[in-house]
Amino acid sequence: MTTEPAPASGTVHWIGAGLSTGSGLAALCDTAERVRLWHRTESRAAEALGGLGLSGRAEPRAYTRSALAAELAPGDVVVSMLPAPEHAPLLAQCVRQGAHFACSSYVSEAVLEHVSAAGKAGLVVLTEAGLDPGIDHLFAHALVARARESIGDGTPASYTFTSYCGGVPAVPNDFTYRFSWAPSGVLNALRSPARYLRDGAETVAERPWEATRRHVVDGETFEVYPNRDSVPFVAQYRVPDAWTPRTFVRGTLRLEGWLRSWDGVFEELKTGDDTRIAALARELAAAYPTTDDDRDRVVLAVSLDVRAESGPSWRGGYLLDLVGDAEESAMARCVSRTLALGVRHILDGSLPPGLNRAAETAARSEQWLRELAQEGVEFTLRVDR
């Protein structure tokens, strides 16, 4: 028996107004009955709304978990833009009070502990609904589905899958980088080993940057390296069992010259403890501040090349290459509009209870891509048969 989703109340609580909060919040103000923006103080929340041109369209609030609990009602939707460790306790609170939950982060073990209870209560838990993870999943599902239709699920074949995403400065600087999220998060991600498939075998890069290589996208050379654990996504993207991977990697994209420019940072990462790395993050933030005149660029390139042992081959790829403007960064546009799209589908009751990622099926991926394109998130698809 399938649990019916708990009706959405129409009220959205958007928690956090950091670098990735952008026009998606405005889109929710057009569709939700009520939107509350929770930030460190009410004045900071009001200031953020003013910067987004949303004064009077959303209610500013000072965030504490107890303050949220006092205003949270059954059927409300909580959108967490907080650091990833905050998601699980916030989701637990949503389950207790009968509210739906959404975030753009990867699913953590701590979040999974609350998914079953949420599903039984008819509550939607939406995750991985941003840029990366998020739009990259949409691209991947759509590509695999197109290749399956062309090659066939049971046809023996080999394939190469790559998914690289990066936020970089629109105008290259000496540092070859622009911080689009917390510097401490950037550094700690580099300290985490990466697992992926190369030459058909599982490979682990203990220091991901040491696996950096050149990668050409639409005629432009970048530097890319693997991150996190790519291997589980073979199943998540529904790649047929009859297809053998030559390469399967999800990773990060940087401007050419990044590896050389960051040599001093890497030396610190090799030897520094948590205290030193936290201090280094503060030093880098001070040395390379993001100003109102800076423009960021987001590049997301996802490609799939399938070669049947005997018969057809198929190759396709999506490319998203956006530059921010005076109104919002490209990163904020991609993350917030994708997340807001998912929230609107919670509001209209079209997402099932329990765990949902941005993309669970090819059909939903194609639908979301059409909707994102209509909302100004531009990308291209190229297919070679």
- Which residues are known to be catalytic? 132
CA 343 to chain CA centroid, nearest Å = 15
In which order are the strands placed within the sheet that holds 124-127? 59-62, 34-39, 11-15, 77-80, 100-103, 124-127, 354-357
Separation between Cα atoms, residue 354 and residue 119, nearest integer Å: 4
What single string gives the DSSP state of each residue in 184-245? HHHHHHHTS-EEEEETTEEEEESSGGGG-EEEEETTEEEEEEE-SB-TTHHHHTT--TTEEE
User: How distant, in Å, are the alpha carbons of 103, 112, 136, 194, 251 from that of 127?
Assistant: 5, 11, 13, 21, 19
Degrees, nearest 5: CA angle 78-295-380: 75
Separation between Cα atoms, residue 95 and residue 113, nearest integer Å: 11
Q: Which residues contact 241 (CB under 8 A, 6 or more apart)?
A: none
Separation between Cα atoms, residue 359 and residue 236, nearest integer Å: 9
